[in-house]
Chain A
Amino acid sequence: MKDKNLYERYHRQIILPEFGEAGQQKLMSAKVLVIGAGGLGCPALQYLTAAGVGMIGIVDDDVVSLNNLHRQVLYSVNDIGLSKAERAANVLQQLNPEIKIIAYNERLENQNTLTLLEEFDIIIDGTDNFSTRYMINDASVLLNKPLVYGAISQFEGQVSVFNSQTLKGSDEAVNYRDLFPDPPKDGEVLNCAEAGVLGVLPGIIGTMMANETIKLITGIGEPLIDQLLTYNALNNQVFVLNLSARKETRSLIPKNEAEFLKTDYIWLCSSPVSNAEIDTNVFNNLIEKGNIDVIDVRELHELPEANEFPNIKIPLAQLSNNSSLIRSDTVIAFCQSGKRSLQAAKILSGIFGDSKKVYSLRGGIIEWKKQQQTV
């Protein structure tokens, strides 16, 4: 290493025989994307920055809150209300000005995910919700990028390395869907805000994620490829499970970019009813896309009439008996104020289950007409 300053900065890890200057060079040429700058992201980012990973991307559209500070140790009270991605980048750049840090103060969605992930060698999933986790998993499989996974709940954590070709020679890499093929619905699994979390737990799990990443980059040790590690902070029990790839999993993952863009990850992870309400903008977009049935669930004589868009009139009380009139895969119910249509969405979700997407127009036809006038 020619630069004396760099040699001194990384000296204590360079002198490790397994690591050496070669290991440091590999870190300095690596590009790692950390998704979520929260409980897991903060410690992972700190250690990857300190270790000298050459380029680090930070994705998060959230801002710092007071109740983050017990576990998201990069932030201080002065950061409350500010962008996590930008604050993290700022703090980390002071820790190590020799590396490139890019803040993406945006939400990861189908449209920006593939383009963003493509720029990096390794993806770190430190997100806090299933829809983003499944989307990141599928994108990593599509792009063939190793995914360092971590997740926590209360006192327990999970860590794994997905989608990295195993050194043992099996041809298919394990991904998250080999563990849990389909996302749980809203409310089935509690998140940190609902279930609570001991602040130090994401510190431990996030640090383990940084460790797995450094092992992957430098080729030392045995990363958790084809394995899932669980850790319990209360009794220090560690449990390592062996995983295998399954043929069936492939059919659950979008086959190409076009399919990926069409997959509705938010809907996949929402209970039909809790996510059923849509606003007038989404309503108009869905109508424009076509291939939907719009149902007026008001009584037949009710005003104002809705003749601006095609709709089928089935009063709420008759909905169950007339569900066969609904043919499209997407259904939107509306009424006067949005109350009866929400009931209608519940009834239709009960009838159609996962076979149709069912929505209710928030604010009803009254709100919709009002919005059209202001446009």
Chain B
Amino acid sequence: MNIKVILFGKLSDIAGSSVSVNDVADTDGLINALHNNYPAFANTKYLIAVDKRVIKENTSLNNNSIVALLPPFSGG
């Protein structure tokens, strides 16, 4: 299973604007894999969206799911 992850703000500074993650069944697994690859993610708050819907609980992922991770911005 191949999950595309789109990154915003500080997260894209760390890992680029998008990354692919293989062999994860749900968002918890995905976040674990990302934190292993990019330890700096742990220092940032972000929201998780699966197929453009913001989620708060662990959510199962399908092949070709698109996940977005979006940190808060404060600038005005």
Q: How large is the interface on B (under 10, 10 to 19, 20 to 34, 35 or more residues)?
A: 20 to 34
> How far is B52's CA from A230's CA once the two chains are assembled, in angstroms?
11
Instruction: For chain B, residues 42 to 60, give those with C-beta under 8 angstroms from any C-beta of chain A.
Output: 43-45, 47, 49, 52-54, 56
A188 CB to nearest B CB, Å? 7
> How far is B47's CA from A150's CA once the two chains are assembled, in angstroms?
16
What number of residue pairs across chains A and B have CB atoms under 8 A from each other? Answer: 91
Q: Is the CB of A36 within 8 A of B76?
A: yes
Q: Is the CB of B72 within 8 A of A230?
A: no
- Among the interface residues B43, B52, B54, B71, which one has the most CB atoms of the partner chain A within 10 A? B54
Instruction: For chain B, residues 32 to 76, give those with C-beta under 8 angstroms from any C-beta of chain A.
Output: 43-45, 47, 49, 52-54, 56, 68, 70-76
Give the size of the chain A interface in residues (CB under 8 angstroms): 44
Q: Which of B6, B47, B54, B72 contacts A151 (CB 8 A)?
A: B72
Known contacts A156-B8, A189-B10; is-contact A39 B47 (Cβ 8 Å): no
> How far is B10's CA from A190's CA once the two chains are assembled, in angstroms?
9
- Among the interface residues A130, A182, A184, which one has the most CB atoms of the partner chain B within 10 A? A184
B55 CB to nearest A CB, Å? 9
Q: Is the CB of A241 within 8 A of B68?
A: yes
Q: Is the CB of A153 within 8 A of B68?
A: no
B50 CB to nearest A CB, Å? 10
Is B9 close to A, CB under 8 A? yes
Known contacts A189-B72, A242-B54; is-contact A179 B43 (Cβ 8 Å): no
Is A197 close to B, CB under 8 A? yes
Chain A residue numbers with a CB within 8 Å of B17 are 235
Name the prevailing secondary structure of the A interface residues.
Answer: mixed
Known contacts A188-B43, A241-B70; is-contact A153 B54 (Cβ 8 Å): no
- Closest B residue to A248 using CB positions: B56
Q: Which of A151, A178, A241 contacts B73 (CB 8 A)?
A: A151
Is A220 close to B, CB under 8 A? no
Is A157 close to B, CB under 8 A? yes
Given contacts A179-B47, A242-B49, list 8 more A-B pairs with CB under 8 A.
Answer: A41-B76, A130-B74, A153-B9, A153-B75, A188-B43, A189-B9, A189-B44, A189-B71
The 8 closest A-B pairs by CB, nearest first: A151-B73, A128-B76, A192-B75, A153-B73, A152-B75, A40-B76, A126-B76, A242-B53
Which residues in A have some Cβ–Cβ distance to B below 8 Å? 36, 38-41, 125-130, 133, 150-154, 156-158, 178-180, 182, 184, 188-192, 195, 197, 202, 228, 230, 235, 239-244, 246, 248
